[in-house]
Chain A
Amino acid sequence: KAGVTQTPRYLIKTRGQQVTLSCSPISGHRSVSWYQQTPGQGLQFLFEYFSETQRNKGNFPGRFSGRQFSNSRSEMNVSTLELGDSALYLCASSLLGAHYGYTFGSGTRLTVV
């Protein structure tokens, strides 16, 4: 079966702009989570969606938002980009939640200049 698909793979934006990242989970998976990965902070949890509802949220400013559609596809949006938002953004999906583990996508590498 197809894995978790994230688009785009690479993105370059300038400070102040906004960006939308997309994630298509494994077919049948209803839980989608987003993580930010940087060399200094490692993997930091952004949010989790389950059946279109945000089930959990990390400690990120309100500039970071997300949503999940009825087909379980998810998007995350970052507004008013800052240089520090440069990171690898990872999407992960699972059938019911994190308990038994996630399948991750390859990520979107965002560079803010």
Chain B
Amino acid sequence: TQLLEQSPQFLSIQEGENLTVYCNSSSVFSSLQWYRQEPGEGPVLLVTVVTGGEVKKLKRLTFQFGDARKDSSLHITAAQPGDTGLYLCAGEGAVEYGNKLVFGAGTILRVKS
């Protein structure tokens, strides 16, 4: 059982399309992080959100932390082939998990040109 549920598991879209990836949990987190991982490499931190309702933008990527600090979303506008990769959400500070950083199963994104 994944502590953080990500959806969809796999997404294949054309260049220029928009997409949203969701990350949900029944636990309350102190912070929620998004990472992107390419094959054979470690995850790279994209953003950390710490305040309920917080919205952060990173170029074409928009991240939102739910008001109750249990969920988050990642929206990509006008996706490009370079956005292809595994997107992982991770939550930290939940009492149930002993303040460990726990990860969702990930969303594999493929952007075709």
Residue ranges of A at the interface with B (Cβ–Cβ < 8 Å): 4, 33, 35, 42-43, 45, 48, 56, 58, 90, 92, 98-107, 109
User: In the complex where A42-B106, A99-B30, A99-B31 touch, is A104 in contact with B42 (Cβ < 8 A)?
Assistant: yes
- For A43, give the chain B residue with the smallest CB separation: B103
**In residues 85-113 of chain B, which contact A (Cβ within 8 Å)?**
88, 90, 92-93, 98-106
Instruction: Say which residue of A35, A42, A101 sits within 8 Å of B33 (CB atoms).
Output: A101
Residue picked from A4, A33, A48, A104, most chain B C-beta under 10 Å: A104
Q: Is the CB of B41 within 8 A of A98?
A: no
Residues of chain B whose beta carbon lies under 8 Å from any beta carbon of chain A: 2, 30-31, 33, 35, 40-45, 48, 50, 88, 90, 92-93, 98-106
Q: Which residues from B are CB-within-8-Å of A99?
A: 30-31, 48, 50, 92-93
Q: Which 7 A-B pairs have the closest CB atoms?
A: A104-B42, A98-B101, A43-B103, A101-B45, A98-B92, A42-B105, A101-B48
Which chain A residue has the least Cβ–Cβ distance from B102? A45
- Alpha-carbon gap, A98 to B33, bound state (A): 10
| Interface of chain A: mostly helix, strand, loop or mixed | strand
Cross-chain contact of B44 among A43, A45, A98, A104 (Cβ < 8 A): A104
Give the docked Cα–Cα distance between A42 and B41 (Å). Answer: 14
* Contact flag A103-B45 (CB < 8 Å), given A42-B105, A98-B92: yes
Selected from B31, B90, B99, B100, the residue in CB contact (under 8 A) with A58 is: B100
Are A56 and B43 in contact, CB atoms less than 8 angstroms apart?
A: no
